[in-house]
């Protein structure tokens, strides 16, 4: 019983740019997103506190933020970003 995966336009644009600038990273992220269709909560995914259906999946130096909706069997990719040294610093 596979989950359907939805990608918003901004995520598709990001992946398109990444496929041209860093094909290796693109392939790893693409395969991780595909794997979410069969296992939406892999062992290395972390549930985000205070943000009900959201999870974070690490793929190298990138983070995939996604939501899982079990009744609809749907995974929605909310965003993909690169983890840098300033990602978690206070502003």
| Topology at the third CATH level for domain 4-82 | YaeB-like fold (3.30.2310)
Q: Which residues are CB-neighbours of 77 under 8 A, at least 6 positions away?
A: 5, 6, 7, 8, 11, 33, 64, 65, 66
Q: Note down pLDDT in tens along the chain; length 91 residues.
A: 699 999 999 999 999 999 999 999 999 999 999 999 999 999 999 998 876 789 999 999 999 999 999 999 999 999 998 887 665 555 3
Q: Where are the domains of the chain?
A: 4-82
Q: Which long-range contacts (CB under 8 A, 24 or more apart) does 38-42 make?
A: 38/2, 38/3, 40/3, 40/66, 40/68, 40/75, 41/68
Torsion angles phi and psi, residue 57, rounded to 5 = -125, 125
The model carries a pTM of 0.86
């Amino acid at each position: 019983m596979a989950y359907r995966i939805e990608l918003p336009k901004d995520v598709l644009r990001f992946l398109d740019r990444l496929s041209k600038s860093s094909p290796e990273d693109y392939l790893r992220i693409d395969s991780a997103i595909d794997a979410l269709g069969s296992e939406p909560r892999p062992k290395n995914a972390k549930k985000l506190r205070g943000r009900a259906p959201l999870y974070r999946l690490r793929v190298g130096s990138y983070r995939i933020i996604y939501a899982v909706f079990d009744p609809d069997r749907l995974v929605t990719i909310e965003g993909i970003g690169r983890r840098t040294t300033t990602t978690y610093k206070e502003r």
